[in-house]
Chains A and B, each alone.
Chain A
Amino acid sequence: MSAYLEIRSVTKRFGDFSALRDVSLDIAEGEFVCFLGPSGCGKTTLLRAIAGLDIQSEGVIRQAGRDVSALPPEERDFGIVFQSYALFPNLTVRKNIGFGLRTRGAPRGEIDRRVDELLEMIGLPDKGDSYPAQISGGQQQRVALARALAPRPGLILLDEPLSALDAKVRLHLREELKTLQRQLGVTMVMVTHDQDEALSLADRIVVMNVGVVEQVGTPFEIYDHPASRFVADFIGAMNFFPGAMTAPDAIAVRDLRLHCTPNGHAGGQPVTVAIRPEDVALAEDHESDPRNLIEVGVGGIEFLGAHARAQLVHDAFVGAPLVAQLPQAVMRRRAIARGQQIRVRLPEDRLRIFDGDARHG
């Protein structure tokens, strides 16, 4: 299968600064892809390169088999929604949505029908004659999306489209966006710095950092098998400890000996051991398998509602305590409190091993 959008060795320089370095990526037709990363990672730069708004210094971008690398935006095929929505303030919702439908040779009646259809689709059939300032932020966002969809482009680009909204509206619109995208089958690329948004919306996530792609994968792959220390750290919470491989399936963290699944690191190599807080399991009293079972002191407990986050103290974990996220039900049943000594298991298949020392990794 040939990709709908092919990005090859794209580099963008602003003077001496490289905002994108040799980025390559394939996006299939009908896919929902999120560019995720901290601010300044180059995700918006990549989106604007795809749009032709800030054309890359080097590299090729092909869309539907056509080389669009050097084309100005008006000669490419995409619709775009910005964080600000950029709705034309002096035009009604109808006129905003219909803006891209004029001069396409479409008769008036057809334009009106298409606008009605879109208003219906975004659930604002009676807001057509309002001005953007007269409708809510969430409604504005939907109008901006409808305007982008109106000429039926092959690709929709979304630049942090939800970040200007408050939390509740954001959750609601997130679902709507996903449903709409599935219904229409249109390829969407969304830039976001919100990992929850990316994890819940995307078919695939592109994690970026300082101008390079760190990992591309499904939300599950990204969360469960982070390819780098950066990804592991950026997505979700993660405990990191410096250690060294003693054998292909064994690690030493100070005096602590842990087993792990073989991962390609040879014995003697310094590594960073990582485990997610929710993977730290409370051992039952009767458990006797000593592998990866450690005794820790409960340093502090942070109550989070359904869960609690416990800081576990152990001689091996210098610098930062081991953080465990435990269901509140378990906490209650075992009556875990500050100052107790408890036993936890670090399941060997949940340990992630990365190159290098935690402090330098």
Chain B
Amino acid sequence: MADVAIGASAMPRRRVVRPRSGRDDRLMLAFVGMIGLYLIASLALPIGFMLWKSTEVRSFAFSAFEVEVDRGQGFEPLGALTVAAPRLGLADEITQARRGPSLTAAQLFPRGQFEGQPVTAARVRLTGDARGGGLEALGQPVAIGDWAEVDADNLRRLTLRAGTINSFANYAEYFSNPALSQSIVNSFAVAIITTVITVTLAFGFAYALHRTCMRGKGVFRTLATAPILAPSLLGGLSLVYLFGNQGLLRGLMFGGSIYGAPGIVLGCVFFTFPHAMLIIATALRIADARLFEAARVLRASPRQTFFTVTLPGARYGLISAAFVVFTLTITEFGVPKVVGGDFNVLALDIYKQVVGQQNFAMGAVVSVILLVPAVFAFAVDRWVTARQVALLSARAAPYEPAPDPRTDRRAFVFCAAVAGFLLLILLVSQYAALIRFWPYNHELTFRHFAFEGVDGGGWGSFWNSLRLAFYVATIGTGVVFIGGFVVEKGRSFAWARTALQFLAMMPMAIPGIVLGLAYIFFFNNPANPFYFLYGTMAILVIATITHFYTVSHLTALTALKAMDREFESVSASLKQPVTRVFAQVTTPVCSPTLIDIAAYFFVNAMTTVSAVVFLYAPHTTLAAVAALNMDDAGQIQAAAAMCMLIVYANLAARGVHALLSRLLARTQAWRTR
């Protein structure tokens, strides 16, 4: 029966099947499209636009300006400015434009003279496109081809305007200016030193947590992650209180100054430590006990075991942690802003170029330079993460550390020292926020929490931050989860899902401050249909969701991958729309992950500075930015108070998160057997 009837019916023997898309496929594609467009508009386009802008240089279109001069014997042609420039004493197109965006005939003929003879009249005309520049006479624009003619008294009123061209001149200028390019060396030095210190400490800490039987693991774990709750600049503030010119422990600096590289490194160690510790802890948690048994049977010394089993087992975690810390540090701008002193780093240069000098093009150039290490570190991290998956075989037996009083005691001392440092940093800011006048008057007071007469917006900023964090946590979680669902559970349109996955990974490679600058270029442009977003809370929400998209997306994917691949297939076979599985099965089952993502978004929205520092408006000031501005204005105790408000809010959010988790566990009876 099997092979009969081939060709018996009129069916052609070879027929390529084009699968027809169902209702669910089209719905999923619509969501892929919407979220994809969101990421394109909120990430790809702004970054692309910024790249383009970084090459934009002001320049006179010399070849388009034709000049004639009358020295009393009628107009004599001088030709195009390309030819005439040397005779007129002009520099090249770009250098000339850098000196000033316009040129008047009075500048072409200084003191009303040309080659020593008085000029009676001059005229200029445009022979072609002026690349965005133009020609004006007596305050009126002159059309291409028309002569703009002025007499000797009105030379000042004939104006040539520079246009723009795209070239690498900005980059050339950047690298030819040691004051600027020194930042590259500085940034790398600080990032590398921070990485070495943080990863070493984090490894020791994680090792103690997972490979020893020391006491107090719960407390240590909590303290180790505490810095996540604070804005990064809090570390900088506390360092100033401790080691600054009026610091408590100034003596420990032995005459050195905390301002500069030492402060940046210490501050960055503080806020990057939890990230590194969590990554390495994950790597150490998945150890295979059989390897350690094998090492024991082979009579390997503890030292040998450490170098042949422990370290190699954690190598991907270590590499990943190193690149994460490196990226966080090199893109960090809050800490250098507070304790950097004269020590310039790339991220801070962007801020200075944009906010201080209004030189957006140079800000874009520095952004592009900062993108290079960030993208590289991102690529390495992804590569490493992809390899780590296969590490734990199904047959691995979980490792249980055996008590060893000596090791356990040493581990405890080490963890106590590290956690003590973290706690000290947090507490110093807390203390500074509560006393009347540092360092002279230690009387306790809440006056710094009133934010009277300080910059940055005070309580209004705090409420704005709460609002932002709430919107980001709710909207962001929804967008990310639906995005993860269509990427992971979609059936057809593989190309579209791959594209969305790629877009979802991009934000991780983009430093926040670069994203913020890109938004200025892209959204603060009346030609952009989304111009209306500029200066609103909405753009802050968009920037923050996009900035923290990737980690949330990966978290959602992990949860979705853990779900049976066939739920959607079963539902389709039962003729149920995919929305029903999504609402009744996927979402409830993933709800613990959803609140994790929401908490992540909330905490980061409260603490972020970099992505939003260029984007807030007077009515949308934010707490962390306010703290930065207070510090800038010297109101450093108010800044500490504001930072602590953020910490309280995040602690409260953690509490809500724990409460929700517990409630969920109670309603999810199906999880228990």
Interface string of B642-673 (1 = CB under 8 A from A): 00000000000000000000000000111111
B99 interfacial contact with A, CB 8 Å? no
A203-239, CB < 8 A from B = 204, 206, 213, 215-216
* A133 in contact with B671 given A57-B16, A70-B18, A79-B574 (CB within 8 Å): yes
| Distance in Å: Cβ of B670 to nearest Cβ of chain A | 4
Whether the pair B573, A79 counts as a contact (CB closer than 8 A) is yes
Whether the pair A74, B24 counts as a contact (CB closer than 8 A) is yes
Residues on B with beta carbons closer than 8 Å to the beta carbon of A164: none
Whether the pair B566, A86 counts as a contact (CB closer than 8 A) is yes
Whether the pair B6, A26 counts as a contact (CB closer than 8 A) is no
Whether the pair A51, B573 counts as a contact (CB closer than 8 A) is yes
| Distance in Å: Cβ of A49 to nearest Cβ of chain B | 9
CA distance A75 to B9 in the complex (A): 24
Interface string of A118-136 (1 = CB under 8 A from B): 0000000000000111100
Whether the pair B566, A55 counts as a contact (CB closer than 8 A) is no
Residues on A with beta carbons closer than 8 Å to the beta carbon of B670: 89-91, 131-134
Whether the pair B569, A24 counts as a contact (CB closer than 8 A) is no
Whether the pair B17, A57 counts as a contact (CB closer than 8 A) is yes
Interface string of B13-29 (1 = CB under 8 A from A): 11111111111110000
CA distance A76 to B3 in the complex (A): 24
Residues on B with beta carbons closer than 8 Å to the beta carbon of A148: 570, 573-574
B404 interfacial contact with A, CB 8 Å? no
Whether the pair B589, A90 counts as a contact (CB closer than 8 A) is yes
Whether the pair B19, A86 counts as a contact (CB closer than 8 A) is no
Name the contact of B576 in the complex, choosing from A6, A99, A153 (C-beta under 8 A).
A99
Whether the pair B668, A75 counts as a contact (CB closer than 8 A) is no
Residues on B with beta carbons closer than 8 Å to the beta carbon of A88: 567, 581, 584-585
Residues on B with beta carbons closer than 8 Å to the beta carbon of A71: 20, 22
Residues on B with beta carbons closer than 8 Å to the beta carbon of A52: 19, 572
B535-574, CB < 8 A from A = 564, 566-567, 569-574
CB nearest neighbor in B for A79: B573
CA distance A151 to B492 in the complex (A): 25
Name the contact of A9 in the complex, choosing from B14, B22, B570, B577 (C-beta under 8 A).
B14
Residues on B with beta carbons closer than 8 Å to the beta carbon of A74: 22-24, 572-573, 575-577
CA distance A82 to B567 in the complex (A): 10
B5 interfacial contact with A, CB 8 Å? yes
Whether the pair A213, B2 counts as a contact (CB closer than 8 A) is yes
Residues on A with beta carbons closer than 8 Å to the beta carbon of B16: 57-58
A80 interfacial contact with B, CB 8 Å? yes
Interface residue range, chain B: 35 or more
Whether the pair B569, A82 counts as a contact (CB closer than 8 A) is yes
A100 interfacial contact with B, CB 8 Å? yes
Q: In the complex, which of the residues A52, A73, A216 has the most CB atoms of chain B within 10 Å of its own CB atom?
A: A73
CA distance A59 to B6 in the complex (A): 11
Interface string of B215-248 (1 = CB under 8 A from A): 0000000000000000000000000000000000
Name the contact of A86 in the complex, choosing from B2, B3, B569, B668 (C-beta under 8 A).
B569
Interface string of A322-333 (1 = CB under 8 A from B): 000000000000
B1 interfacial contact with A, CB 8 Å? yes
A256 interfacial contact with B, CB 8 Å? no
CA distance A99 to B9 in the complex (A): 38
CA distance A84 to B3 in the complex (A): 33
A281 interfacial contact with B, CB 8 Å? no
Whether the pair B569, A73 counts as a contact (CB closer than 8 A) is yes
Residues on B with beta carbons closer than 8 Å to the beta carbon of A63: none
| Distance in Å: Cβ of B482 to nearest Cβ of chain A | 19
CA distance A153 to B3 in the complex (A): 27
B491 interfacial contact with A, CB 8 Å? yes
A171 interfacial contact with B, CB 8 Å? no
B390 interfacial contact with A, CB 8 Å? no
Whether the pair B566, A72 counts as a contact (CB closer than 8 A) is no
CA distance A147 to B584 in the complex (A): 16
Name the contact of B17 in the complex, choosing from A56, A86, A132, A204 (C-beta under 8 A).
A56
Interface string of A264-304 (1 = CB under 8 A from B): 00000000000000000000000000000000000000000
B588 interfacial contact with A, CB 8 Å? yes
Residues on B with beta carbons closer than 8 Å to the beta carbon of A32: none
Whether the pair B564, A86 counts as a contact (CB closer than 8 A) is yes
CB nearest neighbor in A for B563: A89
A150-197, CB < 8 A from B = 150-151, 153
| Distance in Å: Cβ of A12 to nearest Cβ of chain B | 10
| Distance in Å: Cβ of A269 to nearest Cβ of chain B | 24
Whether the pair B24, A100 counts as a contact (CB closer than 8 A) is no
A78 interfacial contact with B, CB 8 Å? yes
Residues on B with beta carbons closer than 8 Å to the beta carbon of A82: 564, 566, 569-570
Whether the pair B569, A26 counts as a contact (CB closer than 8 A) is no
Residues on A with beta carbons closer than 8 Å to the beta carbon of B5: 6, 24, 26
CB nearest neighbor in A for B569: A53
* A84 in contact with B566 given A70-B18, A216-B1 (CB within 8 Å): yes
Residues on B with beta carbons closer than 8 Å to the beta carbon of A263: none
A25 interfacial contact with B, CB 8 Å? yes
CA distance A212 to B9 in the complex (A): 22
Interface string of B281-304 (1 = CB under 8 A from A): 000000000000000000000000
B402 interfacial contact with A, CB 8 Å? no
B4 interfacial contact with A, CB 8 Å? yes
Whether the pair B570, A147 counts as a contact (CB closer than 8 A) is yes
A114 interfacial contact with B, CB 8 Å? no
B587-617, CB < 8 A from A = 588-589
Residues on B with beta carbons closer than 8 Å to the beta carbon of A153: 573
A69 interfacial contact with B, CB 8 Å? yes
A41-61, CB < 8 A from B = 51-53, 55-60
CA distance A104 to B24 in the complex (A): 17
Interface string of A81-124 (1 = CB under 8 A from B): 01010101111000000011011100000000000000000000
Whether the pair B3, A24 counts as a contact (CB closer than 8 A) is yes
B252 interfacial contact with A, CB 8 Å? no
Residues on B with beta carbons closer than 8 Å to the beta carbon of A55: 17, 19
CA distance A216 to B588 in the complex (A): 45
CA distance A328 to B15 in the complex (A): 56
A8 interfacial contact with B, CB 8 Å? yes
B527 interfacial contact with A, CB 8 Å? no
CA distance A55 to B17 in the complex (A): 8
Name the contact of A24 in the complex, choosing from B2, B25, B575, B588 (C-beta under 8 A).
B2
| Distance in Å: Cβ of B69 to nearest Cβ of chain A | 72
Residues on A with beta carbons closer than 8 Å to the beta carbon of B4: 26
B386 interfacial contact with A, CB 8 Å? no
* A51 in contact with B569 given A74-B24, A134-B673 (CB within 8 Å): yes
CA distance A74 to B580 in the complex (A): 13
Residues on A with beta carbons closer than 8 Å to the beta carbon of B573: 51, 73-74, 76, 78-80, 100, 148, 153
Residues on A with beta carbons closer than 8 Å to the beta carbon of B15: 9, 58-60, 69
Residues on A with beta carbons closer than 8 Å to the beta carbon of B172: none
Whether the pair A100, B576 counts as a contact (CB closer than 8 A) is yes
Interface string of B445-471 (1 = CB under 8 A from A): 000000000000000000000000000
B11 interfacial contact with A, CB 8 Å? yes
CA distance A215 to B572 in the complex (A): 32
* A147 in contact with B572 given A24-B2, A60-B11, A133-B672 (CB within 8 Å): no
Binding site for B on A (CB under 8 A): 6, 8-9, 24-26, 51-53, 55-60, 69-76, 78-80, 82, 84, 86, 88-91, 99-100, 102-104, 131-134, 147-148, 150-151, 153, 204, 206, 213, 215-216
Could you show 20 A-B contacts with beta carbons less than 8 Å apart? A9-B14, A24-B5, A51-B569, A52-B572, A69-B17, A72-B25, A72-B491, A73-B22, A74-B23, A74-B24, A74-B572, A80-B566, A80-B573, A86-B564, A88-B567, A91-B670, A99-B571, A100-B574, A147-B570, A153-B573
Binding site for A on B (CB under 8 A): 1-6, 9, 11, 13-25, 491-492, 564, 566-567, 569-577, 581, 584-585, 588-589, 668-673
With A60-B15, A84-B564, A151-B575 already in contact, 8 other A-B pairs whose C-beta atoms are closer than 8 Å: A24-B5, A24-B6, A58-B17, A88-B584, A90-B668, A100-B574, A100-B576, A133-B672
7 interchain residue pairs of minimum CB distance: A100-B574, A72-B22, A216-B2, A131-B670, A86-B566, A73-B572, A55-B19
